[in-house]
Homo-oligomer: A and B are copies of this chain.
Amino acid sequence: MNGVRMDGKLGARVPRYHRIAEALRERIGSGQLAAGARLDNQRKLAQSFGVTLMTLRQALELLERDHLITRRHGLGTFVAAPSIDYDILQLRRFAGDLSAKGEHVATRLLGTRFGAADRRVAEALRLSPNARVLGLERLRLVDGHPMSLQRSFLPSPIGDEVVRADLALTPLHQVLEFKLGVVITHARETVSAVRLGRREARDLGCRAGEPAFESERVSFNAAGAPIVFDRVFIPGDRFRITRELHYEGASS
């Protein structure tokens, strides 16, 4: 990173197996290798990349660690169903979380609209029912595939400012922080398992009735005032929550 290797001769000192993994990642990302498809067997792959079996396997190792493929002894190597681990212990935000794993994350703004808050939104934001709020609808894409549908609601004073920013380019939390000086310090999140509604399913490119996570989150600033309410839908086959638990019991 810092040590800039500009000396042309070596240039790319990326290990062979990294490059192979990259090439395969490409094939998977581009759809050339669809989810569930079986790759060539390892010996063939090794030969086609001109490396040893061991080297190829190192590449597969990388991909498996990222859940891009699964290997099954005696059967073959398969493109994994797209599914993402959300390490619930890491409080990093969604986008940051995934990009840390080397996936390409994009956000598509589906629309913004002022309207009346529904009951849950009003309650969460401590507004009177039917108060005017700004609603944002965004689709998160991971490697080009829809991952989650996010509906955010902001109280109209804040919303008035936010709506002037280019949300297609600037993440919401940056708009809040740098344009409005509002910093989110904590949040409360509730996750439940639901059936996808028709509209949500359409936007997410799957069938209505599919099981999904629904996460409702209220974010607060340091003063404890609610700033934004998010409702996120994530199809169950594209997402997992993992966490580590530590039981202390021993010394008590």
Contacts and interface: CB of A to CB of B under 8 A. Distances in A.
Interface in A216-252: 217, 234-237, 239-250, 252
Interface in A39-55: 54
Taking the full assembly, how many copies of this chain does it contain? 2
A80 to B, nearest CB: 14
A2 interface: no
Interface of A: 54, 65, 83, 85, 88-93, 96, 183-195, 209-213, 217, 234-237, 239-250, 252
Contacts of A252: 96
Given A54-B54, A85-B89, 19 more contacts: A65-B65, A83-B192, A85-B190, A90-B245, A91-B246, A184-B247, A185-B246, A188-B242, A189-B241, A191-B241, A191-B242, A192-B237, A193-B193, A194-B236, A195-B211, A195-B236, A209-B209, A211-B212, A217-B245
Given A193-B239, A240-B192, A246 B211 contact: no
A246 B192 contact: no
B213 A246 contact: no
A190 B244 contact: no
Q: Is the interface of A mostly helix, strand, loop or mixed?
A: strand
A190 B248 contact: no
Contacts of A92: 250
Contacts of A237: 192
A29 to B, nearest CB: 14
Given A185-B247, A245-B186, A191 B93 contact: no
Contact of A193 (B212, B245, B248): B212
Nearest to A61: B61
B187 A211 contact: no
A239 B192 contact: yes
Contact of A189 (B195, B243, B249): B243
Given A93-B245, A245-B91, A246-B91, A211 B193 contact: yes
Nearest to A213: B193
Given A211-B212, A250-B185, A252-B96, A240 B190 contact: yes
